[in-house]
Amino acid sequence: MTTPVRTRFAPSPTGYMHIGGMRTALFAWLWARHTGGVFILRIDDTDQERNVEAALGPIFRAFEWLGLNWDEGPKVGGSFEPYYQSQRTALYQAAVDRLLAEGKAFKDFDAPEVIAEDRKQAETAKRTYVNVRRSLELSEAEKKQLEASGKPFVVRFLIPRDQKIAIDDAVRGHVEWDCSLMPDPVIMRSNGSFLYNFATVVDDSQMQITHVIRAEEHLANTPVQALIHMALGNPLPVFAHIPFITAPGSTKKLSKRDVDKLRNSPQLKKMFDRADEVFPQLGLGDSKTLNPVMVEYYERLGYLPSGILNALSRLGWSLDGTTEFLSLEDVIQNFTLERIVKAPAGFDPEKLQSYQQHWMNQLPLSDKVTGCLPFLTQAKLISGDIDDSTREIVAQVISAVADRLRVFSDILDYKEFFVDDESMTFDEKPFQQRLRDAPEAVGLLKSVREQLTTVTPFDAATLDKLVHDFVETSGIKIGQIVHALRVAVTGKSVGVGLFDALAILGRTRSLRRIDRALDRV
């Protein structure tokens, strides 16, 4: 009988969800879903100085926004509770005690300065550092005496230095390490706390994890973890170390620590600038609060989960080398570990936008309206009491905007349709150019205004004909009136089609805005 697949994602509560970490979680989730297995969310919160609850919020939020449900873990429980490392210390202590009793670990009484000197000597001699096992030479009586005196000690796992350790990684292939070059790792600190490399082995075994799918930087942890698994008599899980995500135009890992450099990256600058334009309107700070390295950045800007999931699934995995647009269901059906590549996956903002645009274009108009309404409400451009007339105006704007609506927050670029006529601001440069510095503009605008008072129906097609007839009878070029009219009714020189804008605003609002513009010249 085949053992059911059980995968896990075990983040530390950092206060945000890294886009690269989300890709790792997605791959583990996909393998569980593809095989009909179980996906576990486990929290590695051994750092007790962190406010765990506050720091976990963005992690849970990211999973929930993307629709990546977990079968076991916080909020949902499971057969192997608790799912927080900080609550599992009894399990770790029992495993330490067992390794000590079986002679597979030892208490090391060497002072930190002694170990530092050992490292210095190894460096001077240009040889690989491996710790000196002085404490193994102590008699039982000497050890008890040191403990009784309060001498601090750590517990180290005893590396079998007379052998090699190898794994067959599902992504990297056969990987081998020489144990003679490995220092004995600390598994329990002098204060009684436990190290990640040790705790994660105990957890993976106890939770019956079959596949450890994680970022390639963890490959260096694997030999020690495999040896601890073997010492405890555990079956080895399948390891799959997936490629890290590189910053655009770089071979360096995409990292929040490099956010200032990323801000000035030609490929990412637009994404930072967009955050600085949109987030202040929503009361969310700016790009210093949320940036493109964080999953929440995309949620708060109104990206679609389908667009982000499509982009993340293609970072290091492909269906056939050519298919770009894949629904989550498509990826689940076709996902295999064999098709994960070894090479680093480059984060490409333009490709991300193409995925987002594709899935936005698939949405029916009603869903686009539903997606845009929270942004208009949060920006205080509409009230919280949304009636059918409000939805209709939003629908008309979205239809006029067409494929320029790439993410839901783009609706905020068209605030002229939602502000009061008296509150609408005019962009000074086009106002000066199209009205104040154009001698004929005022007279032409007044003449068109007269015709707008009676034209029926007040729709885009009729208004288009009216203006073109006016141009022909007046013997002018169309640019002499449409630019002035656009600035008068929208306050801007660019936007949706002029006749769509007039129709959306309606006769009364359009006339009121033209009057404001004329009074301002």
Q: List the catalytic residues.
A: 256
Task: Measure Cα distances from 468 to 67, 461, 472, 493, 503 in Å.
Answer: 50, 11, 6, 19, 16
Q: Which 3-state string (H, E, C) describes 434-464?
A: HHHCCCCHHHHHHHHHHHHCCCCCCCHHHHH
Task: Name the packing angle between helices 269-282 and 365-378 (round to 10°).
Answer: 70
CA–CA distance, 498 with 462 (Å, rounded to integer): 12
Spatial neighbors of 219 by CB under 8 A, at least 6 apart, are: 169, 172, 175, 241
**Do residues 416 and 382 lie in contact, with contact meaning Cβ atoms separated by under 8 Å?**
no
What would the DSSP string read from start to end of 178-228? EGGG-PPPEEE-TTS-B-HHHHHHHHHHHTT--EEEEEGGGGGGHHHHHHH
CA–CA distance, 338 with 316 (Å, rounded to integer): 11
Q: Find, among 464, 430, 431, 436, the residue nearest to 448 by Cα.
A: 464
What would the DSSP string read from start to end of 26-59? HHHHHHHHHHT-EEEE-B----TTS-HHHHHHHH
